[in-house]
Structure 1
């Protein structure tokens, strides 16, 4: 405190000042300090505050040093001196005193400076009190406020983590992760101005987010991990880097900073993106209004980096899974569809959309087009149970064997039965639905076999579209398991300009809708679509895309064209089992349709009767089935040939039935009605054939297409 020393000047008349009694009642003491004499008077309450007895105090300011620690005395003296020099009327401050028991207590002093006419300080009158409890309460209040601020900060930090976690939970691809982080709202929550990110690939960092506009550094699209860049550093060390000022940025990364100097970057945080203990990338958050990072800020950013790394790894795994699945799907589907003389063909495939489930955006749907001899073509549509890579793998195997069976020349029912046995013998629990249609593009006759699949549709040249019902069998795999391998064959006629549509149920089924209603809606949609098969296929797939759904879609369209030049005849085949009246009826219908389509109507009765006799003989005199084949032979004389193959090696014999006989006339009729007949050995069996001369003429207009034919 200021020590003016003793003075011979007389004290003021009102010295010492007498405080109001109310002050003492409130624990407040008073002092009167005469600056000319240096006397420092304390009242009784002030003695108590300083913990001094009257006999221990000589009335001098410097004597208070016994209670005021030196550092506190210097600070109070500075406050008083400044107030006297700058013309202030008073001052106030807190300081500590040491009581006789050695404890420190806070004291508050407040003084009023009295000056003479020249402004010179003459006297200071003031009050003082014990302020220990007051400051403790203030400390407690400040502590509570600090805790409240910390709690608010924690809530904000929790909000940031929750926002990032919730947003990233829906990210399925790397681009989705970037969209979440680069979104304005997202960056606001992160507190950053812009984002830079790179992925580790083969010992290098490939940039996928470039940071602020106009900040791209040439040559940094792909960088080595050992280069002097912040992202390379955090990947090398697996530790974050917090840059708290532009000066620090310029000093630590002199190559990079010149490209950022004009962008008002005040600080930055670079975080390694670590998943399963290995770095998969790095992320940089650039700030334009932040200087420094508190420990809480750093903890939050590190936690965010961990969450972002996990989301990024999940997205990368998803993309890898999808690449693998799509590659497998494309490898299993035909790479190209062969051109077919006399037809326009379009195929399409649309993957399912099962969000958030790795590997389930593909399935077992497939299509195939199989060129066959004699102007025929096989069209296949199928669906293996399930939506995963296993379904795609089974689909690929099934497609190959079905194509092989068809190419071997087996009739449609046999192709389907053998495919079912193959699937049953695979080490899988999957089954498959399938529809196989074998079309003779010369005649327009189509033989269809259905294994648990939805029916085909036919669109006429005028745009009218209808469902073609075909009696079906069990799905592939199940029919072999339950020993029900008989597949009925439906026959229909495809006129020139008509389109055959085969599809999987993903194009038809909708949640809450009946399958029949879906097929009717599809028929209406096909009828309203474009006439060109490729445009129609695109139109139908676009509708499926808009509708969405959790099933993939396969689609095959085959439109029969009218040949520009006369084409050689085709070949039709029908399998007839013993006791199968419907198959026999189907064979008769096939022969009738082919004869009319091939322009041999004038000999239709002869051909049908001869074929019927050959089929009947095969079924009656052998223990197995008959395979009926109808073909046109071209050459100097155009001939229609009927072949009936069975498994017996016994040759047919002509017998004289007598006048009253009811059997033995079959071969006589065959010889009488045909222009030639004979027998050929076929492996363990034989083939009985007959031929009919059919001069070239225009075919008749085919009638309405048929599904499963009725009795004739």
Structure 2
């Protein structure tokens, strides 16, 4: 902009006048006569306000016409305050030039008073502030852009931090739809969908109307709906106009009233390894556009979320496989025992893979006692699970043979050593008599059992501990048993160390916490088992797999099962007649008279074989066996102290011996031989 010397006589050798100096710098001066209300401008001020001297009449109304109406009240307020306080003012406003451009202007002035202190005039300057404010505006814009970049970086960092600890698909969905995530993203609603067999199924949402969730919970990929659309197209969609939204998704029109405050939406495809696995939808209130930085960040978030979901998919698949393998190796159900309740629980480790070596088992021994076992094989892999399955079967077999509890544990240790797996295992075996409450405990490097008495007090059952299975020492007794009596109503807890051990904490803390959790648990064994798992998980973090077994002795002694046990003596022939008579009487008492003749014949054959071939006495046992429905069978068995198994021989027409097992095989529904710790038992069943 050019300025001329108003006087026309200024020489470069003479100091410039004040009005010339102001005009050269894009400034001018003014005098405002408060008594007449007339504004007097110099040449520089005319230039700043885009007036000609003959055009401006000095009125304030003409000045206001050049200003923007919305800025006039603020300027008036500044001037009125200066007049009241007899002080100065300084303010910015915009002036519209003849060419239509708006330019920032700055004015400042001081109130001049007469001798009596009354304001008479205002002296001031006015200048073109467009360059100044342009630089300020650019600085402000740079500062806002820098702040926005920092905010976007904070969003990425927050999302990464929230998704880092997620493990399962449900964890990812919960993190993405949390209130904190909504606030950080600045979104009014979040919805997450997964692709499953040509469908998009919603797995998480927040801030979404229930009607919309119900109607769109599962949609087909080919439908023209937002999440399905971006899955199909594999490109994000950013929308800030409702008309464009309706044009693209016309079937969503009936739901628009549910988003009356929403002004922008974005739908992101979640793609992992070039395969769409889901979609994310976000709505925003009061948002007019998506900047380039925002679009870049949202695209990056889509990739991050897709990676987290893919990782969670793999974990869920591995976890499901591990849980299936583990459950296949654990017993399908607990035995039903009168006077005793058994409730097992198993929880896989939360870590990837989730395969562990923890197991439990229980079986009814021939004498009516119950053997309960719990153990933990070293390691968390398929090998540990396989060894666990073998060891569980071995322990079950040794216990079923009738060996003492300490012998069962010793044989299991030898078995694991002979497997040559370089693994060891801890184990706890409790043999409980439901009728008397007598419990015999043997430990192999395992945590002792915990008992809750009927009055609610809890205590660890002290018992000597031996080495873990697979670590045999030849010059010392392998294992020792301890015995205690559980009163009616008492509960016994057998568990693996995953229930009470936590990384970074002393084991005694976990033991004390488990005692407190057990003492405050519910009375039902099933609810108690769940209470223990849930109550201890917060402490342990579910870092290790857990097996536990709750045994609750009934408040009333169990009624004795109908059973006959009678000795058959080798040197007393009359004892066999006595046994036959007692068997006949028992069958009558059990309403099984139709089986009398066959039962006597087979019992005599098996007892005679035992007396003849073992050179010792025998025990004849009989008891009804109940199966599903109303069907009952009679189980006969003869036990002796010989480990030699009977051999079935083909008898000739002239033979007087060798037909005993043939008769058993022909007349019985099933028969077999069971080894016992001190001999064997030959059994058969009659339907």
2:130, 2:250 → 1: CA distance? 50
2:243, 2:202 → 1: CA distance? 25
The CA RMSD measured in Å over matched residues stands at 5.1
2:7, 2:519 → 1: CA distance? 115
Confirm or deny: 8 A CA contact 2:318 2:353 kept in the other structure. Answer: yes
1:542, 1:243 → 2: CA distance? 45
2:273 equivalent to 1:276:
yes
The one of 247, 251, 254 aligned to 1:255: 251
2:55, 2:195 → 1: CA distance? 64
Question: Residue in 2 aligned with 1:196?
Answer: 191
* Higher alpha-carbon deviation: 463-472 or 146-155: 463-472
How far residue 242 of structure 1 moved from its aligned partner, in angstroms, is: 1.0
2:549 equivalent to 1:555:
yes
1:630, 1:300 → 2: CA distance? 87
How far residue 336 of structure 1 moved from its aligned partner, in angstroms, is: 0.8
2:325 equivalent to 1:332:
no
Q: 1:169 to 1:500 in 2, by over 3 A?
A: closer
Q: 1:527 to 1:153 in 2, by over 3 A?
A: closer
Q: Give SS of 1:207's match.
A: strand
The one of 440, 452, 455 aligned to 2:448: 455
1:221, 1:534 → 2: CA distance? 35
2:381, 2:203 → 1: CA distance? 30
Q: 1:379 to 1:544 in 2, by over 3 A?
A: same
How far residue 415 of structure 1 moved from its aligned partner, in angstroms, is: 3.5
How far residue 241 of structure 1 moved from its aligned partner, in angstroms, is: 0.9
Q: Give SS of 2:478's match.
A: coil
Q: 1:323 to 1:455 in 2, by over 3 A?
A: same
How far residue 298 of structure 1 moved from its aligned partner, in angstroms, is: 0.9
Confirm or deny: 8 A CA contact 2:363 2:370 kept in the other structure. Answer: yes
Q: 1:156 to 1:343 in 2, by over 3 A?
A: same
Q: 1:387 to 1:567 in 2, by over 3 A?
A: same
Q: 1:522 to 1:164 in 2, by over 3 A?
A: closer
Question: Residue in 2 aligned with 1:544?
Answer: 536
Q: 1:172 to 1:542 in 2, by over 3 A?
A: closer
Q: Deviations over 1:329-358 (max 9, x none)?
A: 333322210102x4312223253776xx42
1:475, 1:303 → 2: CA distance? 52
1:281, 1:528 → 2: CA distance? 44
Matched ranges for 1:261-410 at <5 A: 261=257, 263-264=259-260, 265-340=262-337, 342-349=338-345, 351=347, 357-360=351-354, 363-387=356-380, 391-410=384-403
Matched ranges for 1:30-429 at <5 A: 88=62, 140-209=135-204, 212-213=208-209, 216=212, 220-261=216-257, 263-264=259-260, 265-340=262-337, 342-349=338-345, 351=347, 357-360=351-354, 363-387=356-380, 391-426=384-419, 428-429=421-422
2:25, 2:451 → 1: CA distance? 111
Unaligned segments of structure 1, at least 5 residues: 1-14, 31-45, 50-75, 97-105, 111-126, 572-628, 636-640, 648-681, 690-712
Confirm or deny: 8 A CA contact 1:630 1:643 kept in the other structure. Answer: yes
Question: Residue in 1 aligned with 2:584?
Answer: none
How far residue 244 of structure 1 moved from its aligned partner, in angstroms, is: 2.1
Q: Give SS of 2:391's match.
A: helix
Q: Deviations over 1:423-455 (max 9, x none)?
A: 345574432111223455567665544322233
Q: 1:299 to 1:529 in 2, by over 3 A?
A: closer
2:519, 2:137 → 1: CA distance? 79
2:301, 2:254 → 1: CA distance? 28
The one of 475, 492, 496 aligned to 2:483: 492
* Higher alpha-carbon deviation: 368-377 or 465-474: 465-474
Q: 1:461 to 1:194 in 2, by over 3 A?
A: closer
Q: 1:248 to 1:80 in 2, by over 3 A?
A: farther
Q: 1:526 to 1:270 in 2, by over 3 A?
A: closer
How far residue 190 of structure 1 moved from its aligned partner, in angstroms, is: 1.6
1:409, 1:319 → 2: CA distance? 42
Confirm or deny: 8 A CA contact 1:350 1:541 kept in the other structure. Answer: no
Matched ranges for 1:523-534 at <5 A: none
* Bigger Cα Rg: 1
1:243, 1:232 → 2: CA distance? 16
Unaligned segments of structure 2, at least 5 residues: 1-5, 11-15, 27-42, 67-94, 108-124, 567-615, 623-637, 645-672, 681-687
TM, length-normalised to structure 1: 0.57
Q: 1:159 to 1:513 in 2, by over 3 A?
A: closer
2:54, 2:149 → 1: CA distance? 45
Q: Give SS of 2:235's match.
A: coil
Number of aligned residue pairs: give it: 498
1:490, 1:204 → 2: CA distance? 60
Matched ranges for 1:654-669 at <5 A: none
Q: 1:440 to 1:570 in 2, by over 3 A?
A: farther
1:688, 1:315 → 2: CA distance? 55
How far residue 286 of structure 1 moved from its aligned partner, in angstroms, is: 1.6
1:183, 1:532 → 2: CA distance? 35
The one of 492, 500, 504 aligned to 2:496: 504
How far residue 412 of structure 1 moved from its aligned partner, in angstroms, is: 3.8
Question: Residue in 1 aligned with 2:467?
Answer: 474
2:345, 2:230 → 1: CA distance? 44
TM, length-normalised to structure 2: 0.59
Q: Deviations over 1:143-176 (max 9, x none)?
A: 3333222112212222222222223334344444
2:335, 2:345 → 1: CA distance? 17
1:312, 1:224 → 2: CA distance? 20
1:631, 1:79 → 2: CA distance? 136
